[in-house]
Amino acid sequence: MRSFSLAAPERRYRKVEAGSQGMQDKINRDRTADRRTGAGDEKDRTVTANADETMPHDNVLIFDTTLRDGEQSPGASMTLDEKLLVAELLDAMGVDVIEAGFPIASNGDFESVREVSKVVKNAVVCGLARAGAKDIERAAEALQPAQRGRIHTFISTSPVHMKHKLQMEPEAVLDAVIASVSLARNLVDNVEWSPEDATRTDHDFLCRCVEAAIKAGATTINIPDTVGYTIPSEYGALIAMLRERVPNIDRAVISTHCHNDLGLAVANSLAGVAAGARQVECTINGIGERAGNAALEEIVMALKVRRDLMPYDTGIDTTMLARASKLVSSVTAFPVQYNKAIVGQNAFAHESGIHQDGMLKNNQTYEIMTPESVGITKSSLVMGKHSGRHAFREKLRELGYDLGQNAMQDAFNRFKDLADKKKHVFDDDIVALVDDEVARGNDRIRVASLRVIAGSEGPQEATLDLVVDGVSEKVTCTGDGPVDATFNAIKAIFPHDARLQLYQVHAVTAGTDAQAEVSVRLEEAGKTVTGRAADTDTLVASARAYVSALNKLLVKREKAAPSAWVASS
Ligand SMILES: [Zn+2]
């Protein structure tokens, strides 16, 4: 095997020109074929590209890791049903690769990768694995139902990680790279390899590992800025360095994976693309470990709006971005900041008189893209209590939902209840209602009924009927205010040690009859979960949000404790 020596690091030079490598032509061919035939195996590549697709525009593959890295956000966790809903939306939106989880981490993770593999029609489904054989075999097993499965295996390569985390010598790490990629490649034909903490890795060693991984069969090489340390010029130079110095680099797609600790995740990813990377790993709303990952919607819209300077296409239907943002925000119970680029509530709001005046004359005065291009429409008055099932189904379709018969009937019943309480039902109400319905999925604990006495004359009192594993129990508790009384009642029926970390209420729409959307975050033994619920009654929403968090905690309890092998890649 050819290897790099420290003494002669610069033996080969390759021309660095974004998008000219052979692998890129292969991606273009694959994608052309995939979009036409809905399949991606070798034989489909014979489909001829049309004139448009042979234009000198490169494709950048969008690798979404909302379900894996995103779910590692402190406090974010999704149930299986929620993950399936997100996966189906990502697939419909045109995401190229969906990283669905880390199968060895827990039975829940394994199940979700397996179930996502079954429902995804177009995207490659990816499972994460450390370098050990058990991890890789478990990932392959979870991916078995996938039409196109990918194993993403990784190991740390930086001096600080190798010494303290892995306690391995560099040569042993290199051996592990070869062994892990070879094993993965024996199980699936699509393998991605990542040197964790790549941006703090010695360049010569990085080159040796990348070359070895490609030789062992990796077809995607991901370069993670695991700790969010790099800056755009440095990261671009790192990608260019690999393209120059690794002799077999044209046999793999280079990928970016940037964290946002310095707020540079998107800028770094785009610098990587400019230097020749052709896959970007990102998440909806930029959720992820610590300060998060590169935001998918920002990457995609930056490439679209500034195509003049970055002539790279993605396969994303951008009109679905707002919907994806709302869904992920709702299932993780992570609110989107008002001034968030692309999908924030204020992203297209013009406050100052001068701006408003300009917009009325011509919207190009202050708008670089239209709200419609990212799927933001004015919240419209949709329906009232006389609207029928057919109209409701049509509205759901328009909002991007395709519910099964039972879920549809449940959602319709709740819509009727809501329309009785609330005169005007807006799009946002329906989104909140359906997402709320989906979140209830397979919960062990459910709120059956709640009656609360509130007011200035205490003590406030809550009478709660809770169903736990099919058994109903009723208690009455007092508390320091109605919310406290309600939560005390939950604790009386289902005793637990979790601590309440956050309680947050916001209105879904305007008006005093608006639905309240409540988020509750609980912490137990270092694990945090967030539950969310919507109802026109703030206290009912509070009880259901708390119970939703408890249900998530029960799922999370079974997740394996982190070991030295577990990474945050
Ligand atoms: Zn990460």
CA distance 84 to 96: 16
Task: List the structure tokens of 167.
Answer: 């306690």
Kindly indicate the confidence band of residue 441, based on its pLDDT and cuts at 50, 70 and 90: low
CA distance 349 to 495: 46
Task: List the structure tokens of 529.
Answer: 């979960």
Kindly indicate the confidence band of residue 542, based on its pLDDT and cuts at 50, 70 and 90: very high
Going from the Cα of 281 to the center of ligand 1, the distance in angstroms, rounded, reads 9
pLDDT of the residue at 378? 61
CA distance 87 to 120: 7
What is the rounded average pLDDT of the residues 38-67? 57
Going from the Cα of 299 to the center of ligand 1, the distance in angstroms, rounded, reads 16
Whether 295 has a pLDDT exceeding 70, the answer reads yes
Going from the Cα of 228 to the center of ligand 1, the distance in angstroms, rounded, reads 9
Q: How far from each other are the two terminal CA atoms of the chain, in whole angstroms?
A: 27
pLDDT digits (tens, 9 = 90+) for 299-349: 999 999 999 999 999 999 999 999 999 889 888 878 898 899 999 988 887
Pick the residue with more confidence: 568 or 68?
68
Going from the Cα of 425 to the center of ligand 1, the distance in angstroms, rounded, reads 39
Going from the Cα of 218 to the center of ligand 1, the distance in angstroms, rounded, reads 19
Going from the Cα of 224 to the center of ligand 1, the distance in angstroms, rounded, reads 7
Going from the Cα of 285 to the center of ligand 1, the distance in angstroms, rounded, reads 14
Going from the Cα of 485 to the center of ligand 1, the distance in angstroms, rounded, reads 40
- pTM, entire model: 0.76
Among 297, 269, 266, 426, residue whose Cα is nearest residue 369: 297
CA distance 352 to 373: 23
pLDDT of the residue at 271? 98
Going from the Cα of 354 to the center of ligand 1, the distance in angstroms, rounded, reads 42
Whether 191 has a pLDDT exceeding 90, the answer reads yes
Going from the Cα of 293 to the center of ligand 1, the distance in angstroms, rounded, reads 7
Pick the residue with more confidence: 316 or 506?
316
pLDDT of the residue at 29? 45
Going from the Cα of 289 to the center of ligand 1, the distance in angstroms, rounded, reads 6
Kindly indicate the confidence band of residue 440, based on its pLDDT and cuts at 50, 70 and 90: low
pLDDT of the residue at 317? 97
In Å, what is the CA distance from 329 to each residue of 431, 436, 464? 12, 12, 28
Going from the Cα of 183 to the center of ligand 1, the distance in angstroms, rounded, reads 23
Going from the Cα of 225 to the center of ligand 1, the distance in angstroms, rounded, reads 8
CA distance 278 to 197: 20
In Å, what is the CA distance from 172 to each residue of 131, 191, 407? 12, 21, 52
pLDDT of the residue at 376? 84
User: What is the residue-averaged pLDDT of the chain?
Assistant: 85
Pick the residue with more confidence: 36 or 70?
70
pLDDT digits (tens, 9 = 90+) for 87-142: 999 999 999 999 999 999 999 899 999 999 999 999 999 999 999 999 999 999 99
Going from the Cα of 181 to the center of ligand 1, the distance in angstroms, rounded, reads 20
CA distance 144 to 272: 32
Whether 17 has a pLDDT exceeding 60, the answer reads no
Whether 51 has a pLDDT exceeding 50, the answer reads no
Going from the Cα of 568 to the center of ligand 1, the distance in angstroms, rounded, reads 6
pLDDT digits (tens, 9 = 90+) for 461-472: 999 999 999 999
DSSP conformation class of 75: B
DSSP E strands, 508-554: 516-524, 527-535
Percentage of the chain modeled with pLDDT above 70: 86
pLDDT digits (tens, 9 = 90+) for 226-265: 999 999 999 999 999 999 999 999 999 999 999 999 999 9
CB under 8 A, 24+ apart: contacts of 455-464: 459/485, 460/484, 460/485, 461/485, 462/486, 462/488, 462/489, 462/539, 463/489, 464/489, 464/490, 464/493, 464/543
Going from the Cα of 28 to the center of ligand 1, the distance in angstroms, rounded, reads 27
Pick the residue with more confidence: 27 or 89?
89
Going from the Cα of 266 to the center of ligand 1, the distance in angstroms, rounded, reads 13
Going from the Cα of 280 to the center of ligand 1, the distance in angstroms, rounded, reads 12
Whether 175 has a pLDDT exceeding 90, the answer reads yes
Going from the Cα of 284 to the center of ligand 1, the distance in angstroms, rounded, reads 13
Going from the Cα of 269 to the center of ligand 1, the distance in angstroms, rounded, reads 13
Going from the Cα of 283 to the center of ligand 1, the distance in angstroms, rounded, reads 10
